[in-house]
Structure 1
Amino acid sequence: MSTPADPLLLALDLGTSSVKVILVTPGGQVVGRGTGDYAIRSPQPRQAEQDPGDWWAAVSQAVRAAVTPAHAPRVAAIGLSGQMHGTLLLDRQGELLAPAVIWPDQRSQAEVRAITAEIGAEALIDLTGSPLATGFQAATLAWLRHHRPDLWAKIGHILLPKDYLRWRLTGRFATDPSDAAGTLLLDVRRRAWSPALLDRLALDPDWLPPIRPAASVAGELTHAAAQVLGLRPGIPVITGAADTPCSALGAGVLTPDTLLLTLSTGGQLLLPAQTVAVDRRGRIHTFCSALEPTPQQAGWYQMAAL
Structure 2
Amino acid sequence: MFLGIDLGTSGVKVVLINDAHEVLGTGHAGLTVQSPQPGWSEQDPADWIAATCAAIADLKQPLDKVAGIGLSGQMHGAVCLDSADAVLRAAILWNDGRAADEATALDSDPQFHAITGNIVFAGFTAPKLVWMQRHEPDLFARTRRVLLPKDYLRLWLTGEAISDMSDASGTAWFDPARRDWSDQLLAATGMDRSMMPALAEGSEVAGHLRAERASELGLPAGIPVAGGAGDNAATAIGAGIAGPGPGLISLGTSGVIFAATDRFLPAPETAVHAFCHALPDRWHQMGVMLAAASSLDWWAGITGATPADLLAELDQQPGRPGTISFWPYLSGERTPLNNPAQRAGFTGLSSRTDRPRMTRAVLEGVTLALSENMEALRAAGGGADSLLAMGGGARSDLWLSMLAQATGVPVLRPAGAETGAGFGAARLGLMAATGAGSEVLTTPEIAATFDPDPALVPAWAEGLERLRQQRA
Calculate the TM-score normalised by the size of structure 1: 0.91
Tell me which residue corresponds to 2:81: 90
Q: Distance in 2 between matches of 1:227 and 1:214?
A: 25
Q: Distance in 1 between matches of 2:221 and 2:57?
A: 15
Query: For the Cα contact (< 8 Å) 1:130–1:282, is it kept in 2?
Result: no
**Aligned mate of 2:18, from 7, 16, 25:** 25
Q: Distance in 2 between matches of 1:106 and 1:22?
A: 31
Q: Give the superposed CA RMSD.
A: 1.2
Q: Distance in 2 between matches of 1:95 and 1:83?
A: 21
Q: What's the secondary structure of 2:163's corresponding residue?
A: coil
Matched, 1:269 2:257: yes
Q: Hey, which bits of structure 1, 4+ residues long, moved more than 6 A?
A: none
Tell me which residue corresponds to 2:417: none
Give 1:303 shift. 1.1
Q: How do 1:1-306 and structure 2 match up within 5 A?
A: 8-68=1-61, 71-117=62-108, 119-120=109-110, 123-293=111-281, 299-306=282-289
Deviations 1:56-109 (A, max 9, x none): 0010011112152xx321111111111111100011111111111110100001
Aligned identity (percent) is 40
Pick which of 205-214 and 271-280 moved more: 271-280
Give 1:126 shift. 2.9
Q: Distance in 2 between matches of 1:283 and 1:159?
A: 25
Equivalent position amino acid for 1:170 in 2: T
Q: What's the secondary structure of 2:139's corresponding residue?
A: helix
Q: What's the secondary structure of 1:32's corresponding residue?
A: strand
Deviations 1:148-167 (A, max 9, x none): 11111111211000000011
Give 1:204 shift. 2.2
Task: List alignment gaps of at least 5 residues for structure 1.
Answer: 1-7, 294-298
Deviations 1:236-287 (A, max 9, x none): 2112111101111111222212211111111111111111221141331101
Q: Distance in 2 between matches of 1:26 and 1:80?
A: 17
Give 1:43 shift. 1.1
Calculate the TM-score normalised by the size of structure 2: 0.60
Give 1:225 shift. 1.3
Equivalent position amino acid for 1:81 in 2: S
Q: Which structure has greater helix proportion?
A: 2
Q: What's the secondary structure of 1:211's corresponding residue?
A: strand
Q: Distance in 2 between matches of 1:79 and 1:255?
A: 21
Q: Distance in 1 between matches of 2:248 and 2:24?
A: 26
Query: For the Cα contact (< 8 Å) 1:106–1:134, is it kept in 2?
Result: yes
In the alignment of these two chains, the number of paired residues is 289
Q: Distance in 2 between matches of 1:266 and 1:126?
A: 27
Query: For the Cα contact (< 8 Å) 1:23–1:67, is it kept in 2?
Result: no
Q: What's the secondary structure of 1:74's corresponding residue?
A: coil
